[in-house]
Amino acid sequence: MKIAITGGKAEADFLAASLKEHHKLAVINPDTEYARYLADIHNIPVVCGDPRKAYVLEDAGIRHFDALVSLMADDADSLAVCQLAKEKFGVKKTIAVVTNPRNVELFRTFGVTEVVSSAYMVSQHLAQLSTLSSLVSSFSLENEKIVLTELDVSPGSRTAGLPVCSMHLPPHVIIACIIRSGNMIVPDGQTVVNTGDRLVVLSAAEVQNKLIALFMPEKGSI
Amino acid sequence: MFRFLAGKQHQLAVVAGASRFGTQTAGLFSEKGYDVVIIDADSGAFSKLPDNFDGLTIEGDASDTFVLEAARIKRAAICVAATDSDSTNSLIAQIAACVYVVPAVYCRLSDTANADMLTRCRIHIICPSDLCLQEFERQSRLADNGGIL
């Protein structure tokens, strides 16, 4: 892939080191000293300039690149770089690393493909830890909008012994598979779920707690 | 200030950035009978506000949605992005136009390379160097007779 890395210090250094073997990189850094350091240590071409300027991106030759990562110190600058790359240079995917977690959803609505915020990730992770018991593990997709939940059917849960069609599952939930004594079963509506079964469930994030409650003991701790 | 707190529903104008342009615009809105909120990260910048300004000042980052909501952007009739950073103005204008659907949004930009993206969102662009050029052409009548003076 052809990947552009704009702005940033240690993050740019790390990305250049891990990507340069297998990808064609264009590195753009506004800091003269740091641009020189990156070029020397990684032995790659680095454009020293302000990536918010169209002529700088032109110089770096990023037209129709597969991806651009923006690591600018100011979130607004990262958005400006991503939008310029997408609009004027046809860059396919743009990734912005932001400091304000409220900009994650916002920048996605403004056309940035992926928005990454460490505070946002930590808060999502802690929220998951605090709601899920040790019986449950979960994995998020699509910026935390979709979750894959793995859970065990507890004795005394109101769904144990019922066929899938009578469980009154919330909307946007699908039981992807049942793991029973090491074997995988892809359920249909008639499949009965038993205590001790492990389920892998795909659902919208907002119904996850409701879903977990269905498979926990009725007077559970959740 | 008192007019604002009394809660009468005048049209609301939100000005982001107490630059020279921002403060003068805020004064103009006051004069025309708008409720005005002006936002700047540096409270010292408000000293540039003209005497006719009678709105509210908020110290904060105007590109943060929390700060804009504190400025009641939801009920704004007009929003002017007038900080000294193009990126910040572009972000504020997009938030105002696309998220809060403010009817009239103005954005000050020095570099208009990606301005058409904003005009597609019904954002009005104000570019000082373009205005200078137009004024120069007018005063020098360069456009009329094909030669300077």
User: What's the pLDDT tens digit per position in A46-100?
Assistant: 999 999 999 999 999 999 999 999 999 999 999 999 999 999 999 999 999 999 9
Q: How far is the CA of A30 from the CAs of A59, A196, B112, B113, in angstroms?
A: 13, 58, 20, 19
Give A45 to chain B, closest Cα distance, Å. 25
Q: Do B111 and A77 touch (CB under 8 A)?
A: no
Q: Report residue B41's pLDDT band, with 50, 70 and 90 as the boundaries.
A: very high
- Mapped onto helix, strand or coil, the DSSP state of residue A96 is strand
Residue B99 C-alpha, separation from nearest chain A C-alpha, in angstroms: 8
A52 neighbourhood in chain B, CB within 8 Å: 86-87, 111
Average pLDDT over chain A, rounded to an integer: 89
Q: Which residues of B touch A87 (CB under 8 A)?
A: 114, 116-117
pLDDT above 90: residue A195: no
Residue A113 has pLDDT above 60, yes or no: yes
Cross-chain Cβ contact A102/B66 below 8 Å? yes
What is the mean predicted confidence (pLDDT) over A29-40?
96
The model's confidence at residue B2, banded by pLDDT at 50, 70 and 90, is: very low
Q: How far away is chain A from the Cα of B121, in angstroms, using its nearest Cα? A: 11
List pLDDT tens digits, range B45-93.
Answer: 999 999 999 999 999 999 999 999 999 999 999 999 999 999 999 999 9
Q: Is the dihedral of CA B19, B21, B22, B28 positive or negative?
A: positive
Which residue on chain B is closest to A57 by alpha carbon?
A: B113
- Crossing angle of helices A10-19 and A32-42, in 10° steps, is 20
Q: Which value, in Å, is the radius of gyration of the alpha carbons in chain A?
A: 23
Residues from chain A contacting residue B96 (CB–CB below 8 Å): none
- Which residue type sits at A92? K
Distance from the Cα of A72 to chain B's closest Cα (Å) equals 11
Cα separations (Å) of B64 from A56, A104, A186? 28, 12, 46
Which is nearest to A76 in space by CA: A49, A95, A58, A52?
A: A52
Structural tokens at position A191: 């499949």
Residue B120 contacts A where some CB pair is shorter than 8 Å = no
A158 against B112, higher pLDDT: B112
User: For residue A129, is pLDDT > 50?
Assistant: yes
* pLDDT per residue as tens digits for the range A16-29: 999 999 999 999 99
The sign of the torsion formed by the CA atoms of A172, A170, A221, A136 equals negative
Distance, CA of A188 to CA of A172 (rounded, Å): 16
**Cβ-Cβ contacts under 8 Å, B97 against chain A:** none
Question: Could you give the 3-state DSSP secondary structure of residue A150?
Answer: strand
Question: Which candidate from A88, A106, A109 shows the least CB-CB separation from B114?
Answer: A88
Answer yes or no: do A80 and B94 touch at CB < 8 A: no
Please give, rounded to a whole number of angstroms, the shortest distance from the CA of B51 to a CA of chain A. Answer: 32
| Interchain CB distance below 8 Å, B86 and A53 | no
